[in-house]
Structure 1
Amino acid sequence: MPDADSDSIYRLADMTWQQVEAAVEETQTMLLPVGSTEQHGHHMPLGVDVYMPEAIAERVAERTGCLLAPPIWYGVSPHHTFKPGTFTVESETFQHYVRDVCTSAAEWGVENVLLVNGHYLVQDPELDVVVRELTTEHGMRAFHVPLISVFQDAATTVRTSDVSFHASEFETSLMLELFPDLVQMDRAEAVDVPDDALPLTEYDAYGDNRVGWALSAERMNALTHTGNLGDPTVATREKGAEMVEDAVTNVTNLVDALAGLNAPDSAVETGE
């Protein structure tokens, strides 16, 4: 918990309204971690998809001084309901909720919002719609930031498994770096995926997925007895550290650029 009198406070949940009023004089950018609460195999907790984006967003906020909103814990996860502990909400409910959180922030000075998405791939379509609505209907600069995209360079360099889809090499490595006490590597188990993928679809986060597709709870239940897809046993903290730094650096670059746009003498805004 930061000092309530600290000038470096950036977590909105820890601030008074007077501190928020002062903060938006300095920054108009807010990071909103968005995830879901769902099963992540035998070796990781339900909160992985929130823990990851919130921790990465916090590191960005530390570097840039932008605001960090409390995370959104519930997402679109119908395909994970075959295991207990998973929550899911309707797509429309999720979109409206995220949009309303962002537009309420606009009322007190937030102009730029980054939706840092830990439940990437699955709820990307919903967040893309929210970004479009915030931009075209509410006059905000909005961005969907799926973690799988902003740590891609590091992930493709450090990976050693052929398939990393859910709760496997990438997510487990990230959690080993960010929250090692929450990972039970002695319970991690590789789950091979079947060789039945249709053309333009693959069971891999960086596979040849050129068309949109989805999994049902019934299909997931048939694919995995543990809940993960891929091999988490090859995950390491060192891999996670590289992926975290890649993500933080990339998002920091975007936040810094937005700060330049919001500067009073910005040539971009004035047209000079």
Structure 2
Amino acid sequence: MDDTPNAGPHRVAEMTWREIDAALDRTRTLLIPVGSTEQHGHHLPLGVDALMPEAIGERVVERTPALLAPPIWYGVSPHHTFKPGTFTVSTETFQRYVFDICDSASEWGIENVLLLNGHYLAQDPELEVVVRRLRTESDVDAFHVPLVELFADVAAEIRTGDVSFHASEFETSIMLALFPELVDMDAATAVDPPEESLPLTDYDALGDNRVGWSLTAEDMEAITSSGNIGDPTVATAEKGDALVEAAVSGITELVDALEEPEE
């Protein structure tokens, strides 16, 4: 395989089938950004969860020979339907759709699939099941890659807000770094979650979440009038750059390991 990381085109949607065929001589790894289209408060666009992993994936394929698939724009978002513009699909539909996309890629030579999850926390359970099915039924080395886990250590070091749960410090910072033209910081407003949460749960992306739980649309509507939970006003592009680099570096390390030639 070609040792040059980004030799040739790497965005699948912009390539011909012959370019894909040639690219398979240098890589068998595909990155698939997985997101959702849902409300993100007054200051962020609906497409945050797909825009972030696609942009991060773009930076990864600039450093590695991997290919970047078009993003999956629709996810499991029933808890955000209390605001207009949110789309949601059922767990069963989502799992089947993502599985079929990855399985079809294996038919033309892809062996490794990384599902870059920008709608982290909310659809982690679904993607874990998809990964298990791909590994057992399609002979694909599949990985669920939730962005929040990749930048958690850096986020804990640089955060200044007490809570960042949805459309707040972390997501807003990343969007300021990647798509500043889509962020309206003048409209950003802090929303404090309830002071108390059940044991082993927390309204924070880095909080004490030790059990599986979820919010309904009614829960979200009662908690936030703007749509976000936490304080996006403390977000900065500098924080976003650090979070993005942590995610890109982690994914790159995994891709490099997958692409190492067998001895």
SS of 2:25 mapped into structure 1: helix
Partner of 1:171: 171
Residue pairs, 1:138-177, within 5 angstroms: 138-177=138-177
Tell me the C-alpha RMSD between the 2 structures.
0.9
Structure 1 residue 74, shift from structure 2 partner = 0.1
Q: Which residue of 2 aligns with 1:3?
A: none
Q: Distance in 2 between matches of 1:238 and 1:196?
A: 31
Q: For 1:258-269, what aligned pairs fall within 5 Å after superposition?
A: 258-260=258-260, 263=261, 266-267=262-263
Instruction: Give 1:183's aligned amino acid.
Output: V
How far apart, in 2, do the equivalents of 1:158 and 1:173 lie?
11
Residues 34-68 of structure 1 deviation map (CA, whole Å, 9 limit, x = unaligned): 00000000000000000000000010011102100
Deviation at 1:154, TM superposition (A): 1.3
Deviation of 1:7 after TM superposition, in Å, equals 4.6
For normalisation by structure 2, the TM-score amounts to 0.97
Distance 1:61 1:26 in 2: 12
Cα distance in 2, alignment partners of residues 60 and 204 from structure 1: 27
Runs of 5+ consecutive residues of structure 1 not aligned to the other structure: 1-5, 268-272
1:239 — aligned with what?
A: 239
Per-residue CA distance 1:171-213 (angstroms, 9 max, x = gap): 0000000000000000000000111300111000111111100
Aligned equivalent of 2:46? 46
What is the CA-CA distance between 1:130 and the residue it aligns to?
Answer: 0.3
Aligned residues: 258
Partner residue, 2:12:
12
The SS at the match of 2:233 is helix
- CA shift, 1:86, in A, is 0.1
1:87 is matched with 87
Instruction: Report the counterpart of residue 225 of structure 1 in structure 2.
Output: 225
2-structure distance, mates of 1:84, 1:48: 15
Q: Give the superposition deviation at 1:8.
A: 2.4
Return the letter of the residue paired with 1:125.
P
Percent of aligned positions that are identical: 67
Unaligned regions of 5+ residues in structure 2, if any? 1-5
TM-score (norm 1): 0.94
Moved more, 211-220 or 7-16: 7-16
1:248 matched to which residue of 2?
Answer: 248
The 2-side partners of 1:27 and 1:171 are apart by 31
The answer for the alignment partner of 1:29 in structure 2 is 29
Distance 1:107 1:239 in 2: 40
AA in 1 matched with 2:36: S
